[in-house]
Amino acid sequence: MGSSSVRTTGPGIQVVETLDGMHQVQPLWESVPVVWANPAVSYEFVHSCVEAYQLADRLTVVVSGIGPHTAIAPLYRSEASPRLGIAGQNQIFEASDFIYSNADDLGDLAQAVVSLRRPLRLNRIPVESATVEALEKAYRGRGLVIKRPATGCPWIALDKSWADPDQHLNSGRRSDLRRLRRNAEKMGTVTFEIRTPDPSELEALLSEVYAVEAGGWKARAGTAMNVDARMGAFYQAFAAASAAKKELRLAFMRIDGRPVATQLAVEANGGFWLLKIGYLEEFKRCSPGILLMMETIRHAANVGLKFYEFLGAEQEWINVWSPNVRQCIRVQTYPFNFHGTWALVADTLTNLRSRLKALSKANRRNK
Protein backbone atom coordinates (compact mmCIF):
# COMPACT_ATOMS: atom_id res chain seq x y z
CA MET A 1 0.00 0.00 0.00
CA GLY A 2 2.91 2.32 -0.55
CA SER A 3 1.45 4.99 -2.79
CA SER A 4 0.48 8.61 -2.58
CA SER A 5 -3.12 7.50 -1.87
CA VAL A 6 -2.09 5.79 1.37
CA ARG A 7 0.63 7.12 3.62
CA THR A 8 2.48 5.24 6.35
CA THR A 9 2.60 6.96 9.73
CA GLY A 10 4.17 4.21 11.81
CA PRO A 11 4.85 0.45 11.93
CA GLY A 12 1.76 -1.25 10.55
CA ILE A 13 -0.22 2.02 10.42
CA GLN A 14 -1.62 3.50 7.21
CA VAL A 15 -3.69 6.65 6.74
CA VAL A 16 -6.01 6.85 3.73
CA GLU A 17 -6.95 10.31 2.47
CA THR A 18 -8.36 9.64 -1.02
CA LEU A 19 -10.97 7.46 -2.71
CA ASP A 20 -8.17 5.65 -4.54
CA GLY A 21 -6.71 4.84 -1.16
CA MET A 22 -10.06 3.45 -0.01
CA HIS A 23 -10.10 1.17 -3.05
CA GLN A 24 -6.64 -0.08 -2.11
CA VAL A 25 -7.65 -1.04 1.42
CA GLN A 26 -11.01 -2.54 0.38
CA PRO A 27 -9.72 -6.16 0.46
CA LEU A 28 -8.35 -5.62 3.97
CA TRP A 29 -11.61 -3.96 5.07
CA GLU A 30 -13.70 -6.84 3.77
CA SER A 31 -11.43 -9.47 5.36
CA VAL A 32 -12.36 -8.38 8.89
CA PRO A 33 -15.05 -10.56 10.57
CA VAL A 34 -16.53 -7.64 12.49
CA VAL A 35 -18.04 -8.02 15.97
CA TRP A 36 -21.29 -6.20 15.07
CA ALA A 37 -22.03 -6.64 11.38
CA ASN A 38 -24.11 -3.48 11.01
CA PRO A 39 -24.18 -2.41 7.33
CA ALA A 40 -22.95 1.02 8.46
CA VAL A 41 -19.47 -0.45 9.06
CA SER A 42 -19.30 -2.07 5.62
CA TYR A 43 -17.00 -0.79 2.91
CA GLU A 44 -19.96 -0.26 0.57
CA PHE A 45 -21.81 1.89 3.08
CA VAL A 46 -18.87 4.14 3.89
CA HIS A 47 -17.72 4.42 0.28
CA SER A 48 -21.25 5.33 -0.88
CA CYS A 49 -21.44 7.96 1.87
CA VAL A 50 -18.06 9.46 0.97
CA GLU A 51 -19.10 9.83 -2.66
CA ALA A 52 -22.66 11.10 -2.08
CA TYR A 53 -21.69 13.63 0.59
CA GLN A 54 -18.45 14.67 -1.10
CA LEU A 55 -16.17 13.73 1.78
CA ALA A 56 -13.31 12.49 -0.41
CA ASP A 57 -11.12 15.53 0.18
CA ARG A 58 -11.63 15.24 3.97
CA LEU A 59 -10.93 11.53 4.49
CA THR A 60 -8.72 10.39 7.35
CA VAL A 61 -9.22 6.61 7.37
CA VAL A 62 -6.75 4.98 9.75
CA VAL A 63 -5.77 1.34 9.12
CA SER A 64 -3.83 -0.86 11.54
CA GLY A 65 -2.64 -4.44 11.16
CA ILE A 66 -3.11 -7.01 8.39
CA GLY A 67 -5.57 -9.75 7.42
CA PRO A 68 -8.35 -10.62 9.88
CA HIS A 69 -6.45 -8.66 12.53
CA THR A 70 -6.89 -5.42 10.61
CA ALA A 71 -8.64 -2.63 12.52
CA ILE A 72 -9.95 0.47 10.75
CA ALA A 73 -11.23 3.87 11.88
CA PRO A 74 -13.25 5.25 8.93
CA LEU A 75 -12.90 8.91 9.86
CA TYR A 76 -13.40 12.20 8.05
CA ARG A 77 -12.60 15.79 8.95
CA SER A 78 -15.39 18.23 9.71
CA GLU A 79 -15.66 21.32 7.52
CA ALA A 80 -16.61 23.65 10.36
CA SER A 81 -14.27 22.46 13.11
CA PRO A 82 -11.06 20.51 13.73
CA ARG A 83 -13.04 17.42 14.76
CA LEU A 84 -12.93 13.94 13.29
CA GLY A 85 -16.05 11.77 13.04
CA ILE A 86 -17.06 8.43 11.58
CA ALA A 87 -18.14 8.75 7.96
CA GLY A 88 -21.86 8.03 7.80
CA GLN A 89 -22.82 8.83 11.39
CA ASN A 90 -23.47 12.51 10.79
CA GLN A 91 -24.84 11.96 7.29
CA ILE A 92 -27.09 8.88 7.55
CA PHE A 93 -27.56 9.00 11.36
CA GLU A 94 -27.00 5.30 11.93
CA ALA A 95 -25.04 3.81 14.80
CA SER A 96 -21.65 2.49 13.74
CA ASP A 97 -18.21 1.73 15.05
CA PHE A 98 -14.59 1.15 14.15
CA ILE A 99 -14.01 -1.99 12.11
CA TYR A 100 -12.40 -4.79 14.14
CA SER A 101 -12.84 -8.45 15.02
CA ASN A 102 -11.02 -8.58 18.34
CA ALA A 103 -10.48 -6.05 21.10
CA ASP A 104 -6.74 -6.88 21.04
CA ASP A 105 -6.53 -5.48 17.50
CA LEU A 106 -7.69 -2.02 18.58
CA GLY A 107 -4.73 -0.93 20.70
CA ASP A 108 -2.44 0.21 17.89
CA LEU A 109 -5.36 1.72 15.99
CA ALA A 110 -6.47 3.79 18.98
CA GLN A 111 -2.90 5.02 19.52
CA ALA A 112 -2.70 6.03 15.85
CA VAL A 113 -6.01 7.89 16.06
CA VAL A 114 -4.86 9.77 19.17
CA SER A 115 -1.61 10.64 17.36
CA LEU A 116 -3.65 12.62 14.83
CA ARG A 117 -4.09 15.16 17.67
CA ARG A 118 -7.66 15.98 16.63
CA PRO A 119 -10.79 15.90 18.82
CA LEU A 120 -13.22 13.09 18.03
CA ARG A 121 -17.01 13.04 18.09
CA LEU A 122 -18.38 9.52 17.70
CA ASN A 123 -22.11 10.08 17.95
CA ARG A 124 -23.54 6.56 18.28
CA ILE A 125 -21.23 3.75 19.37
CA PRO A 126 -22.55 0.48 20.90
CA VAL A 127 -22.04 0.78 24.64
CA GLU A 128 -20.28 -2.60 24.78
CA SER A 129 -17.88 -1.70 21.95
CA ALA A 130 -14.22 -2.34 22.66
CA THR A 131 -13.49 0.90 20.79
CA VAL A 132 -14.45 2.93 23.86
CA GLU A 133 -12.01 1.23 26.23
CA ALA A 134 -9.23 1.34 23.62
CA LEU A 135 -9.65 5.09 23.17
CA GLU A 136 -9.77 5.69 26.93
CA LYS A 137 -6.52 3.79 27.35
CA ALA A 138 -4.83 5.58 24.43
CA TYR A 139 -5.86 9.02 25.71
CA ARG A 140 -4.48 8.56 29.23
CA GLY A 141 -2.23 11.53 29.91
CA ARG A 142 -2.94 12.87 26.41
CA GLY A 143 -6.53 14.09 26.57
CA LEU A 144 -10.06 13.78 27.95
CA VAL A 145 -12.66 11.20 26.96
CA ILE A 146 -16.28 12.07 27.75
CA LYS A 147 -19.12 9.56 27.33
CA ARG A 148 -22.83 10.35 27.26
CA PRO A 149 -25.92 8.26 26.50
CA ALA A 150 -27.05 8.22 22.88
CA THR A 151 -30.09 6.89 21.07
CA GLY A 152 -30.12 3.08 21.01
CA CYS A 153 -30.99 0.63 18.24
CA PRO A 154 -34.05 -1.61 18.73
CA TRP A 155 -33.91 -5.22 17.53
CA ILE A 156 -35.62 -8.60 17.72
CA ALA A 157 -33.88 -11.85 18.65
CA LEU A 158 -35.53 -14.19 16.15
CA ASP A 159 -36.47 -17.82 16.51
CA LYS A 160 -39.01 -20.05 14.74
CA SER A 161 -41.89 -18.58 16.74
CA TRP A 162 -41.46 -15.29 14.85
CA ALA A 163 -42.76 -17.00 11.71
CA ASP A 164 -46.10 -16.06 13.31
CA PRO A 165 -45.21 -12.54 14.54
CA ASP A 166 -48.58 -11.60 15.98
CA GLN A 167 -48.32 -14.29 18.67
CA HIS A 168 -45.70 -12.04 20.29
CA LEU A 169 -48.28 -9.27 20.67
CA ASN A 170 -50.97 -8.90 23.30
CA SER A 171 -54.59 -9.58 22.40
CA GLY A 172 -55.36 -5.91 21.90
CA ARG A 173 -52.51 -5.46 19.40
CA ARG A 174 -53.52 -8.63 17.54
CA SER A 175 -57.06 -7.30 17.28
CA ASP A 176 -55.70 -4.01 15.94
CA LEU A 177 -53.71 -5.84 13.25
CA ARG A 178 -56.74 -7.82 12.11
CA ARG A 179 -58.73 -4.59 11.89
CA LEU A 180 -55.99 -2.90 9.87
CA ARG A 181 -55.83 -5.84 7.47
CA ARG A 182 -59.61 -5.71 6.99
CA ASN A 183 -59.39 -1.98 6.30
CA ALA A 184 -56.72 -2.63 3.68
CA GLU A 185 -58.74 -5.37 2.00
CA LYS A 186 -61.72 -3.02 1.71
CA MET A 187 -59.52 -0.80 -0.45
CA GLY A 188 -58.54 -3.55 -2.89
CA THR A 189 -56.47 -6.70 -3.31
CA VAL A 190 -53.62 -6.76 -0.81
CA THR A 191 -50.30 -8.35 -1.74
CA PHE A 192 -46.83 -8.38 -0.23
CA GLU A 193 -43.50 -8.96 -1.91
CA ILE A 194 -39.90 -9.07 -0.74
CA ARG A 195 -37.55 -8.70 -3.67
CA THR A 196 -33.88 -9.50 -4.13
CA PRO A 197 -33.49 -7.29 -7.18
CA ASP A 198 -31.11 -7.94 -10.04
CA PRO A 199 -29.06 -4.89 -11.03
CA SER A 200 -31.10 -4.70 -14.25
CA GLU A 201 -34.39 -4.15 -12.39
CA LEU A 202 -33.03 -2.06 -9.54
CA GLU A 203 -33.72 1.38 -11.03
CA ALA A 204 -37.44 0.71 -11.58
CA LEU A 205 -37.93 -0.79 -8.12
CA LEU A 206 -35.97 1.97 -6.38
CA SER A 207 -38.10 4.59 -8.11
CA GLU A 208 -41.15 2.98 -6.47
CA VAL A 209 -39.41 2.99 -3.08
CA TYR A 210 -38.47 6.66 -3.41
CA ALA A 211 -41.98 7.65 -4.55
CA VAL A 212 -43.70 5.87 -1.66
CA GLU A 213 -41.32 7.33 0.92
CA ALA A 214 -42.06 10.81 -0.43
CA GLY A 215 -45.78 10.20 -0.01
CA GLY A 216 -45.77 11.25 3.63
CA TRP A 217 -44.25 13.53 6.24
CA LYS A 218 -40.66 12.93 5.12
CA ALA A 219 -41.21 14.95 1.95
CA ARG A 220 -42.61 17.85 3.97
CA ALA A 221 -39.67 17.65 6.36
CA GLY A 222 -37.20 17.55 3.49
CA THR A 223 -35.76 14.17 4.54
CA ALA A 224 -37.24 11.97 1.81
CA MET A 225 -34.70 10.38 -0.50
CA ASN A 226 -36.05 12.10 -3.60
CA VAL A 227 -36.05 15.47 -1.82
CA ASP A 228 -32.63 15.32 -0.12
CA ALA A 229 -30.41 14.89 -3.18
CA ARG A 230 -27.35 13.69 -1.29
CA MET A 231 -29.29 11.16 0.75
CA GLY A 232 -30.98 9.95 -2.41
CA ALA A 233 -27.62 9.54 -4.12
CA PHE A 234 -26.25 7.67 -1.12
CA TYR A 235 -29.04 5.10 -1.03
CA GLN A 236 -28.93 4.66 -4.79
CA ALA A 237 -25.20 3.87 -4.64
CA PHE A 238 -25.47 1.66 -1.55
CA ALA A 239 -28.49 -0.19 -2.97
CA ALA A 240 -26.58 -0.89 -6.19
CA ALA A 241 -23.56 -2.23 -4.27
CA SER A 242 -25.80 -4.38 -2.05
CA ALA A 243 -27.78 -5.67 -5.03
CA ALA A 244 -24.55 -6.77 -6.70
CA LYS A 245 -23.84 -8.89 -3.60
CA LYS A 246 -27.44 -10.22 -3.53
CA GLU A 247 -27.90 -8.68 -0.08
CA LEU A 248 -30.41 -5.95 -0.94
CA ARG A 249 -34.06 -6.51 -0.04
CA LEU A 250 -36.84 -4.23 -1.29
CA ALA A 251 -40.20 -4.98 0.32
CA PHE A 252 -43.60 -3.72 -0.80
CA MET A 253 -47.18 -3.83 0.32
CA ARG A 254 -49.46 -3.27 -2.67
CA ILE A 255 -53.17 -2.59 -2.96
CA ASP A 256 -54.48 -3.47 -6.43
CA GLY A 257 -50.86 -3.50 -7.56
CA ARG A 258 -50.07 -0.01 -6.30
CA PRO A 259 -47.21 0.22 -3.77
CA VAL A 260 -48.53 1.77 -0.53
CA ALA A 261 -45.71 0.84 1.86
CA THR A 262 -42.08 -0.03 1.31
CA GLN A 263 -38.86 -1.02 3.01
CA LEU A 264 -35.23 -0.85 1.92
CA ALA A 265 -33.16 -3.38 3.83
CA VAL A 266 -30.07 -5.54 3.74
CA GLU A 267 -30.09 -9.26 4.53
CA ALA A 268 -26.61 -10.28 5.63
CA ASN A 269 -24.55 -11.78 8.44
CA GLY A 270 -27.53 -13.54 9.96
CA GLY A 271 -29.72 -10.46 10.18
CA PHE A 272 -32.37 -8.39 8.44
CA TRP A 273 -31.17 -4.78 8.65
CA LEU A 274 -33.94 -2.25 8.08
CA LEU A 275 -32.55 0.99 6.61
CA LYS A 276 -35.51 2.92 5.18
CA ILE A 277 -39.29 2.69 5.47
CA GLY A 278 -42.15 4.65 3.97
CA TYR A 279 -45.86 4.59 3.27
CA LEU A 280 -48.47 6.65 1.43
CA GLU A 281 -50.37 8.83 3.87
CA GLU A 282 -53.60 8.48 1.90
CA PHE A 283 -53.68 4.84 3.07
CA LYS A 284 -52.92 5.57 6.71
CA ARG A 285 -56.31 4.17 7.79
CA CYS A 286 -54.87 0.69 7.31
CA SER A 287 -51.33 1.50 8.59
CA PRO A 288 -49.61 -0.23 5.67
CA GLY A 289 -46.17 0.27 7.16
CA ILE A 290 -47.10 -1.82 10.19
CA LEU A 291 -48.67 -4.55 8.06
CA LEU A 292 -45.55 -4.70 5.90
CA MET A 293 -43.36 -4.82 8.99
CA MET A 294 -45.17 -7.94 10.16
CA GLU A 295 -44.52 -9.61 6.81
CA THR A 296 -40.80 -8.85 6.74
CA ILE A 297 -40.41 -10.08 10.33
CA ARG A 298 -42.19 -13.28 9.26
CA HIS A 299 -39.88 -13.56 6.26
CA ALA A 300 -36.75 -13.08 8.37
CA ALA A 301 -37.81 -15.88 10.72
CA ASN A 302 -38.80 -18.20 7.88
CA VAL A 303 -35.42 -17.93 6.13
CA GLY A 304 -33.60 -18.68 9.37
CA LEU A 305 -32.16 -15.27 10.25
CA LYS A 306 -31.12 -14.74 13.86
CA PHE A 307 -32.10 -11.11 14.37
CA TYR A 308 -34.21 -8.32 12.91
CA GLU A 309 -32.50 -4.95 13.31
CA PHE A 310 -34.73 -1.87 13.13
CA LEU A 311 -31.68 0.44 13.14
CA GLY A 312 -32.69 4.11 13.24
CA ALA A 313 -33.85 5.15 16.71
CA GLU A 314 -36.05 3.88 19.50
CA GLN A 315 -39.71 4.69 18.90
CA GLU A 316 -42.90 3.73 20.68
CA TRP A 317 -44.36 1.83 17.72
CA ILE A 318 -41.20 -0.29 17.49
CA ASN A 319 -41.37 -1.21 21.18
CA VAL A 320 -44.62 -3.00 20.39
CA TRP A 321 -42.55 -5.68 18.65
CA SER A 322 -39.60 -6.00 21.01
CA PRO A 323 -38.19 -4.41 24.17
CA ASN A 324 -34.63 -5.21 23.07
CA VAL A 325 -32.41 -2.17 22.47
CA ARG A 326 -28.72 -2.10 21.66
CA GLN A 327 -27.64 0.69 23.96
CA CYS A 328 -25.36 3.33 22.47
CA ILE A 329 -23.19 6.14 23.75
CA ARG A 330 -21.67 9.31 22.31
CA VAL A 331 -17.92 9.50 22.75
CA GLN A 332 -16.17 12.86 22.57
CA THR A 333 -12.42 13.25 22.99
CA TYR A 334 -10.34 16.35 23.66
CA PRO A 335 -6.57 16.10 23.20
CA PHE A 336 -4.40 18.33 25.35
CA ASN A 337 -3.65 20.84 22.58
CA PHE A 338 -5.18 23.88 20.92
CA HIS A 339 -7.72 21.88 18.89
CA GLY A 340 -8.84 19.92 21.92
CA THR A 341 -9.19 23.05 24.05
CA TRP A 342 -11.18 24.77 21.29
CA ALA A 343 -13.56 21.79 21.01
CA LEU A 344 -14.01 21.51 24.78
CA VAL A 345 -14.84 25.22 25.13
CA ALA A 346 -17.22 25.09 22.16
CA ASP A 347 -19.03 22.03 23.53
CA THR A 348 -19.23 23.49 27.04
CA LEU A 349 -20.81 26.67 25.71
CA THR A 350 -23.25 24.69 23.56
CA ASN A 351 -24.31 22.55 26.52
CA LEU A 352 -24.71 25.65 28.68
CA ARG A 353 -26.92 27.35 26.09
CA SER A 354 -29.07 24.22 25.82
CA ARG A 355 -29.54 24.05 29.59
CA LEU A 356 -30.40 27.73 29.84
CA LYS A 357 -32.91 27.35 27.01
CA ALA A 358 -34.53 24.36 28.73
CA LEU A 359 -34.62 26.23 32.04
CA SER A 360 -36.24 29.24 30.37
CA LYS A 361 -38.95 27.04 28.85
CA ALA A 362 -39.60 25.38 32.20
CA ASN A 363 -39.92 28.76 33.91
CA ARG A 364 -42.43 29.96 31.30
CA ARG A 365 -44.53 26.83 31.78
CA ASN A 366 -44.59 27.37 35.53
CA LYS A 367 -45.82 30.95 35.33
pLDDT of amino acid 2? 43
Judge whether 326 and 120 are in contact, CB under 8 Å.
no
Q: Is the pLDDT of residue 3 over 60?
A: no
Q: What is the mean pLDDT of residues 337-359?
A: 88
- Which of 84-93, 189-198, 254-263 shows the lowest per-residue confidence on average (mean pLDDT)? 84-93
pLDDT, one tens digit per residue, over 281-312 is: 999 999 999 999 999 999 999 999 999 999 88
Residue 136 CA, chain-centre distance (Å), reads: 24
Query: Does residue 36 or residue 41 have the better pLDDT?
Result: 41
Q: Is the pLDDT of residue 141 over 80?
A: yes
Q: Is the pLDDT of residue 241 over 50?
A: yes
pLDDT of amino acid 365? 64
- In Å, what is the CA distance from 43 to each residue of 26, 38, 112? 7, 11, 20
pLDDT band of residue 164 (cuts 50, 70, 90) is: very high
Please state, rounded to an integer, the average pLDDT across all residues of the chain. 92
pLDDT of amino acid 196? 97
pLDDT band of residue 366 (cuts 50, 70, 90) is: low
Minimal CA–CA distance to 96: which of 329, 307, 310, 347?
329
pLDDT band of residue 4 (cuts 50, 70, 90) is: low
Burial of 174 (0-12, 13-18, 19+ CB in 10 A): middle
pLDDT of amino acid 11? 77
Helices (H), the chain: 19-30, 43-52, 89-92, 106-115, 130-139, 171-187, 199-213, 217-221, 229-244, 288-302, 316-319, 338-366
pLDDT of amino acid 364? 64
- DSSP 8-state assignment for residue 98: -
Q: Give the Cα separation of 105 and 114 in Å (integer).
A: 15
Minimal CA–CA distance to 256: which of 276, 278, 280, 227?
280
pLDDT of amino acid 353? 87
The proportion of the chain whose per-residue pLDDT surpasses 70, expressed as a percent, equals 96
Q: What is the mean pLDDT of residues 316-330?
A: 86
Q: Is the pLDDT of residue 18 over 60?
A: yes
pLDDT of amino acid 1? 44
pLDDT, one tens digit per residue, over 87-140 is: 998 899 899 999 999 999 999 999 999 999 999 999 999 999 999 999 999 999
Q: Is the pLDDT of residue 313 over 90?
A: no
Q: Which amino acid is at 51?
A: E
Q: Give the Cα separation of 153 and 146 in Å (integer).
A: 21
